[in-house]
């Protein structure tokens, strides 16, 4: 059984690499990063920013597990933002802006529009936001996604708060349903983007 632990700043490089592997063939990130050449490297940079700017400094719950079969590598990760900390910063410093530009290039405007649409569909009540869940290819279907999410869901239960997640495929939505998430409808991303299934796991009584 995998031993899930809290990630630290020292895990950023390995965790970014593992999550980039997990998302390299995913529909939404593929649509936001249509450049096939170098997509995985761009995803690594994206997850590094997510961890260093959004999650770790803002008290996010970042979960991972070591890969016993591959020393030095991680199986994947789960990034969860706490209540009132799920929105993107209204302003960014010049260095962070350049880092985002290096990720998206000429598709940066699309990424900004996507973020705005996603924020419009967020619940208004306090909630934990499960922003990213990723498992490396070849390690899926072993319960790792569920294991990575479980500590965050336990925290939601202990604090009697709901959890919110956006499923980007029917396969991932089925996993979230088994974890207690309930569908809230469906919407399409702008510019002809793929569908998103917002889901909420109600607060424990």
What are 165-180's pLDDT values in tens digits? 999 998 899 999 999 9
Cβ atoms 127, 163 nearer than 8 A = yes
> Is the pLDDT assigned to residue 121 strictly greater than 80?
yes
Residue 114 pLDDT: 92
How many helices and strands (H and E) does the chain possess? 7, 8
Give how far the C-alpha of residue 5 lies from the chain's centroid of Cα atoms, to the nearest Å.
Answer: 17
Average pLDDT over residues 26-37: 88
> Is the pLDDT assigned to residue 50 strictly greater than 80?
yes
Which of these, 166, 162, 130, 136, lies nearest to 149 by C-alpha position?
Answer: 130
Residue 139 pLDDT: 87
> Is the pLDDT assigned to residue 90 strictly greater than 80?
no
- Say which residue, 140 or 79, is predicted with more confidence: 79
Mapped onto helix, strand or coil, the DSSP state of residue 41 is helix
- Geometric angle at alpha carbon 100, from 99 and 105, rounded to 5°: 105
Cβ atoms 122, 164 nearer than 8 A = yes
Domains (ranges, CATH) in the chain? 5-201 (3.40.630.30)
- φ, ψ of residue 155 to 5 degrees: the values are -65, -40
Report CA dihedral (130, 41, 189, 53) to the nearest 10 degrees: 50
Per the structure block, which two tokens stand in for 140?
Answer: 């899926």
What is the tens place of the pLDDT at every residue in 64-89? Answer: 999 988 888 999 999 999 998 988 88
- φ, ψ of residue 63 to 5 degrees: the values are -120, 145
Confidence grade of residue 43 (pLDDT, cut at 50, 70, 90)? very high
Q: Which H or E element spans position 166?
A: strand 163-167
> Is the pLDDT assigned to residue 1 strictly greater than 80?
no
Confidence grade of residue 92 (pLDDT, cut at 50, 70, 90)? confident
> Is the pLDDT assigned to residue 205 strictly greater than 90?
no
């Amino acid at each position: 059984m995998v031993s899930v632990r809290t990630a630290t700043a020292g895990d950023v490089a390995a965790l970014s690499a593992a999550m980039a592997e997990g998302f390299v063939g995913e529909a939404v990130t593929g649509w936001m990063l249509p450049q096939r050449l170098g997509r995985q490297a761009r995803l690594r940079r994206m997850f590094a920013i997510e961890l260093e700017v959004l999650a770790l400094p803002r008290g996010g719950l970042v979960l991972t597990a070591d890969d016993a079969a591959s020393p030095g590598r991680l199986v994947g990760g789960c990034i969860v933002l706490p209540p009132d900390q799920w929105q993107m910063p209204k302003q960014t410093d010049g260095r962070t802006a350049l880092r985002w530009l290096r990720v998206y290039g000429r598709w940066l405007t699309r990424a900004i529009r996507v973020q705005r649409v996603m924020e419009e569909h967020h619940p208004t009540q306090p909630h934990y936001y499960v922003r990213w869940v990723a498992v490396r290819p070849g390690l899926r279907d072993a319960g790792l996604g569920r294991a990575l999410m479980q500590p965050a869901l336990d925290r939601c239960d202990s604090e009697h708060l709901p959890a919110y997640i956006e499923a980007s495929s029917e396969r991932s939505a089925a996993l979230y349903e088994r974890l207690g998430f309930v569908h809230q409808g469906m919407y399409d991303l702008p510019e002809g983007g793929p569908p998103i299934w917002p889901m909420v796991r109600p607060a424990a009584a």
